C-alpha cells in the first residue's frame, strides 16, 4: 500500500511537471523519457546511493517487449571493454600498458529494479555485449517486460542503484573533493532506425540518448557549490552538515552535475535572440586568471551561434572548471553544462581555454540539440562542431592565430586540424562506428580534423554562405531529433540547391585522399630553333604546367599561372583524369603556378607540392636546416657534459 501511494505520487508529479512544461510553451522535443532521481552523495567513499524513477513513453510506433539500459560506470573495471581498449591504446586518462589502479574502479550497481505495476524484476536483468561479445563487460543490461508496451503507452521503472565514482577517468569521477558526475545513472537505450540502439561503453566513443525531462534531487555536504544541467529549483540546508539541492532540466538527453567545496562562482548573463541566458561558472581558485578568458570566449561563441545557426533555447549554461589533476574531466559537453580546461600557468598566447569553451558550447547544438548517435557517427557531432569551432575561433581571434598567437610563431584552427588529419588521412572512413577506428589518432584526426576540413573544402566548392545556409537548415530540421548521415547530406544538398552526393561519397563514406600536385612546369621559346636573342615583350614562350592528381579524391582543379609581365591566368580542369597539361603561348615567361590559389582545398594533404616557382627561394630551407644544425650542435654540447 505504501508502495502504491508512492507510485501514485510519482505519476502525479510527472503529470504535473509535463503540464507545467507544456503550459510554458510547447515542448521542444518529443520527451520520450522522464527521469526523477533522488540521491545522497558520500564524499568519503565517493558513492551515490540513489533511486531513479524512469517513465518511458513508447513513441516508436511498435510494441516494445524489452528494454536495454546503459550502466556506464561499470566501464571502469579491469575486464570491461572500455578498460581493455583503453589499456591497449593508452587513451582517456589511462596510460598505455599501465597496471590496473584501484582508484580507477567505478561501478553502477543496481540494487533493485522494479517495473511499476509489475513488481520486482531485478533477477531478470541480463548483461549483454552487442558490440564485441565480451562476457565480462557489464555496461549494458536488458530487461524483458512482463507485459509488452504498446505504442503511445508509458512504462515506469524504479531503480535503486549505487554509483561508485572512479578517480577522474574518461570525463567522470572525483579528484580530492571535486566531483564531476557524468554518465552516472542507469540510462535507457534509444529506439532508432527500427531497433534498440544501446552500445557498450568503448574507450573512444561517447553517448546517445533520448530527449526528455530530468528532475534531480541531490543531498551533498553543506556549503559545496553545485553545478548541473538545467536550472536549480531548490536548495535546503538540512542542518546536519548536508544540503539538498534540486534541479530541473527539460528537452535534454542527459544530466550531469558537479560539486566542489573550493570553487568560486562567477555569474553573468547574455542577451541573445532567444532572450537572456544566465551564465554560471564554477571556477577553481587557482584558475581565476582564466575566468575572463572563458567568459569572453563563451559570450563570443554564443553570439556567433545565435547569428549563424539558431537560437540557444535554454535559460542557462553552466561552465565547470575542473581542478588540476582532473584534466580528464575537462573539455566535455553535457546538455546545458560544459567542462572547461586551463591551468594556473596558462600563457595568454596559447588559446586552449578559449578553444575548449568554444568547442564544448558548440556541442550544445551538435550533440545537445541535434542529437546524433555519437557511438556510430562521431563525425556528425565532433566534426561538424570542429568546423564551427574553426569558423567561430577564426572570427573571434584571427584566422592564422586562433590557436597559438605568440612571438615564436602562430597556429590557426585550420592548420591544427590539418596536422591532425594528415597522418591518418587514408585509414578510416568517417562512416565507421567509433570503436572500430584504427586508433585514437585516426579517430581524432578523421572525426574532428577531416570533417572540419571536408566542410571548409566544401566552402571552396559552393561558397561559405551556402554552406552556412545548409547547416542552418539542417539544424532547423533536425534539432531535438536523431539524424543519420544520410539526413545530413540530403538536408545539405536540398538547402544548398545542389546534389553533392559525389562529394559526400568520397568525403564521408570513403578513404579517398586529396593530393594534387604540380608535376612539371616550364617556359620555353616557341622558336626554340632560332638563333636570335630573346627580347622581353617580343619573344613568344610556350609555357606548360602539368598537374598530377596524385591522390584518389576527385575534385575539380583551379590553377593560377603568373607571368613575368605581371599578368595572371586562372584555368580550371575537371580533375577527371590522372593528369592534365595546361599550356599558354605568350610574350612572357612563366614565373609561378599554383593549384588551389585561394587555399580553399583544406583536404589536400600535401600543400608543399601545390605550387611551383621559376626562381628557387632557399630562405625557408636555410632557416629550417639552420635550426636543425643548431639543435645538433646543442645535442653535442649536452652529451659533452661527459667530457
Segment contacting another protein by CB under 8 A, of 26-34, 486-494, 544-552, 610-618: 610-618
**If binding is defined by CB under 8 A, does position 522 make contact with another protein?**
no
> Using DSSP, how many helices (H) and how many strands (E) does the chain show?
13, 32
Shortest Å, Cβ 632 to another protein: 4
> Which listed residue (22, 45, 112, 632) binds another protein by CB under 8 A?
632
Given candidates 335, 594, 601, 602, which one binds another protein under the rule CB under 8 A?
A: 594
- The only residue of 112, 118, 276, 633 in contact with another protein, by rule CB under 8 A: 633
Integer Cα distance of 479 and 488 in angstroms: 12
637 scored as a contact of another protein (CB under 8 A): yes
CB of 359 to another protein, least distance (A): 18
Q: Which is nearer to another protein, 240 or 640 (CB)?
A: 640
Kindly tell me which residue out of 247, 488, 563, 612 binds another protein, with binding defined by CB under 8 A.
612
Out of 51, 154, 343, 498, the residue judged to bind another protein by CB under 8 A: 343
Identify which of residues 1 and 637 has a Cβ nearer to another protein in the complex.
Answer: 637
- Choose between 526 and 631: whose C-beta lies nearer to another protein: 631
- Calculated CA dihedral for residues 180, 331, 421, 451, nearest 10 degrees: 100
Binders of another protein in range 4-63 (CB under 8 A): none
Window 357-416: residues binding another protein (CB under 8 A)? 400, 404, 407-412, 414-416
Q: In Å, how far are 183, 361, 385, 406, 441 from 355, measured between CA atoms?
A: 24, 10, 12, 16, 19
Judge contact between 473 and 490, C-beta under 8 A. no
Residue 49: alpha-carbon gap to chain centroid:
31
Does the footprint of another protein cover residue 609 (CB under 8 A)? yes
Query: What is the H or E stretch that residue 487 is in?
Result: helix 485-496
Rounded CA gap, 585 and 593, in Å? 15
Applying the rule CB under 8 A, the residues between 236 and 275 that interact with another protein are 262
Smallest distance, Å, CB 416 to another protein? 6
| DSSP-derived secondary structure letter, 335 | T
Tell which one of 176, 348, 536, 572 touches another protein (CB under 8 A).
176
Smallest separation (angstroms) from another protein to the CB of 101: 12
Listed ranges 84-92, 127-135, 582-590, 601-609: which one lies at the site for another protein (CB under 8 A)? 601-609
What b-and-e string marks burial along 29-57, b requiring 16 or more CB atoms within 10 Å of the CB? bebbbbbbbbbebeeeebbbbbebbbbbb
- Site size for another protein (CB under 8 A): 64
With residue 190 as reference, give the H or E element that holds it: strand 190-192
> Are 477 and 491 spatial neighbours (Cβ–Cβ below 8 Å)?
yes
Phi then psi dihedrals of residue 348, to 5 deg? -65, -25
What minimum distance in Å lies between the beta carbon of 178 and another protein?
Answer: 10
Q: Between 169 and 277, name the residue whose CB sits nearer to another protein.
A: 169
The residue (of 422 and 569) whose beta carbon lies closer to another protein is 422
- Residue 474 binding another protein, by CB under 8 A: no
If binding is defined by CB under 8 A, does position 433 make contact with another protein? no
100 versus 628: smaller Cβ distance to another protein: 628
Residue 618, interface with another protein (CB under 8 A)?
Answer: yes
Task: Quickly list DSSP for 35-51.
Answer: EEEEEEEETTTTEEEEE
Do 593 and 611 touch, CB atoms closer than 8 A?
yes
In sign, the C-alpha dihedral spanning 84, 88, 94, 98 is positive
Longest dimension (CA), the chain: 113
Q: How many whole angstroms separate alpha carbon 64 and alpha carbon 153?
A: 10
Q: Toward another protein, which CB reaches closer, 78 or 285?
A: 285
Residue that has been written with the C-alpha cell 540502439 in this structure: 197
**Residue 635 makes contact with another protein by CB under 8 A:** yes
Which residues of this protein are in contact with another protein, per CB under 8 A? Answer: 175-176, 262, 284, 286-287, 323-325, 343-345, 400, 404, 407-412, 414-416, 418-419, 422-423, 592, 594, 606-613, 616-626, 628-643
Amino acid at each position: 500500500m505504501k508502495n502504491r501511494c508512492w507510485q501514485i505520487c510519482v505519476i502525479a508529479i510527472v503529470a504535473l511537471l509535463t503540464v507545467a512544461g507544456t503550459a510554458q510553451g510547447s515542448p521542444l522535443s518529443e520527451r520520450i523519457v522522464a527521469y526523477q532521481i533522488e540521491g545522497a552523495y558520500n564524499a568519503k567513499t565517493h558513492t551515490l546511493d540513489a533511486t531513479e524513477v524512469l517513465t518511458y513513453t513508447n513513441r516508436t510506433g511498435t510494441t516494445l517487449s524489452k528494454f536495454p539500459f546503459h550502466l556506464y560506470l561499470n566501464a571502469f573495471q579491469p575486464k570491461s571493454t572500455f578498460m581493455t581498449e583503453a589499456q591497449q591504446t593508452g587513451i582517456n586518462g589511462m596510460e598505455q600498458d599501465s597496471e590496473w589502479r584501484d582508484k580507477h574502479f567505478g561501478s553502477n550497481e543496481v540494487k533493485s529494479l522494479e517495473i511499476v505495476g509489475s513488481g520486482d524484476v531485478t533477477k531478470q536483468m541480463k548483461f549483454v555485449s552487442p558490440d564485441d561479445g565480451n562476457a565480462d563487460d557489464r555496461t549494458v543490461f536488458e530487461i524483458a517486460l512482463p507485459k509488452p508496451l504498446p505504442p503511445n503507452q508509458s512504462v515506469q521503472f524504479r531503480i535503486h542503484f549505487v554509483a561508485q565514482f572512479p578517480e577522474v577517468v574518461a570525463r567522470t569521477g572525483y579528484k580530492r573533493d571535486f566531483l564531476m558526475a557524468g554518465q552516472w545513472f542507469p540510462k535507457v537505450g534509444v529506439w532508432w532506425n527500427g531497433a534498440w540502439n544501446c552500445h557498450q561503453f568503448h574507450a573512444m566513443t561517447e553517448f546517445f540518448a533520448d530527449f526528455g525531462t530530468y528532475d534531480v534531487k541531490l543531498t551533498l555536504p553543506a556549503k559545496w557549490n553545485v553545478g548541473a544541467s538545467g536550472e536549480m529549483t531548490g536548495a535546503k540546508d538540512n542542518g546536519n552538515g548536508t544540503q539538498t539541492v534540486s534541479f530541473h532540466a527539460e528537452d535534454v538527453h542527459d544530466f550531469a552535475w558537479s560539486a566542489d567545496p573550493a570553487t568560486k562562482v562567477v555569474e553573468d548573463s547574455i542577451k541573445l535572440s532567444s532572450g537572456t541566458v544566465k551564465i554560471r561558472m564554477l571556477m577553481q581558485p587557482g584558475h581565476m586568471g582564466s575566468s575572463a578568458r572563458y567568459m569572453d570566449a563563451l559570450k563570443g561563441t554564443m553570439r556567433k551561434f545565435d547569428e549563424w545557426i539558431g537560437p540557444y533555447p535554454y535559460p542557462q549554461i553552466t561552465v565547470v572548471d575542473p581542478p588540476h589533476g582532473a584534466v580528464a574531466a575537462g573539455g566535455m559537453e553535457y546538455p546545458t553544462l560544459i567542462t572547461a580546461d586551463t591551468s594556473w600557468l596558462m600563457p595568454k598566447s596559447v588559446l586552449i581555454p578559449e578553444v575548449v569553451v568554444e568547442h564544448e558550447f558548440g556541442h550544445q547544438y551538435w550533440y545537445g540539440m541535434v542529437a546524433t548517435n555519437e557511438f556510430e557517427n562521431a563525425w556528425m557531432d565532433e566534426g561538424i562542431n570542429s568546423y564551427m569551432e574553426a569558423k567561430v575561433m577564426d572570427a573571434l581571434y584571427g584566422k592564422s592565430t586562433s590557436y597559438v598567437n605568440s612571438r615564436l610563431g602562430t597556429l590557426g584552427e585550420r592548420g591544427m586540424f590539418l596536422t591532425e588529419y594528415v597522418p591518418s588521412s587514408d585509414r578510416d572512413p568517417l562512416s565507421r562506428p567509433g570503436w572500430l577506428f584504427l586508433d585514437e589518432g585516426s579517430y581524432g584526426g578523421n572525426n574532428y580534423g577531416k570533417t572540419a576540413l571536408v566542410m571548409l573544402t566544401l566552402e571552396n566548392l559552393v561558397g561559405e554562405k551556402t554552406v552556412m545556409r545548409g547547416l542552418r537548415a539542417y539544424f532547423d530540421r533536425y534539432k531535438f531529433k536523431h539524424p543519420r548521415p544520410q539526413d545530413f547530406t540530403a538536408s545539405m544538398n536540398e538547402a544548398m540547391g545542389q546534389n553533392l552526393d559525389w562529394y559526400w561519397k568520397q568525403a564521408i563514406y570513403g578513404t579517398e585522399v586529396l593530393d594534387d600536385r604540380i608535376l612539371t612546369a616550364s617556359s620555353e621559346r616557341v622558336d626554340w630553333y632560332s638563333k636570335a636573342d630573346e627580347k622581353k615583350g617580343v619573344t613568344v614562350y610556350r609555357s606548360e604546367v602539368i598537374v598530377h592528381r596524385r591522390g584518389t579524391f576527385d575534385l575539380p582543379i583551379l590553377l593560377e599561372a603568373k607571368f613575368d609581365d605581371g599578368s595572371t591566368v586562372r584555368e580550371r580542369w575537371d580533375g577527371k583524369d590522372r593528369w592534365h597539361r595546361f599550356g599558354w603561348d605568350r610574350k612572357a615567361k612563366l614565373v609561378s603556378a599554383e593549384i588551389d590559389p585561394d587555399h580553399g582545398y583544406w583536404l589536400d594533404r600535401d600543400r608543399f607540392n601545390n605550387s611551383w616557382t621559376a626562381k628557387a627561394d632557399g630562405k625557408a630551407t636555410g632557416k629550417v636546416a639552420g635550426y636543425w644544425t643548431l639543435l645538433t650542435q646543442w645535442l653535442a654540447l649536452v652529451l659533452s657534459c661527459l667530457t
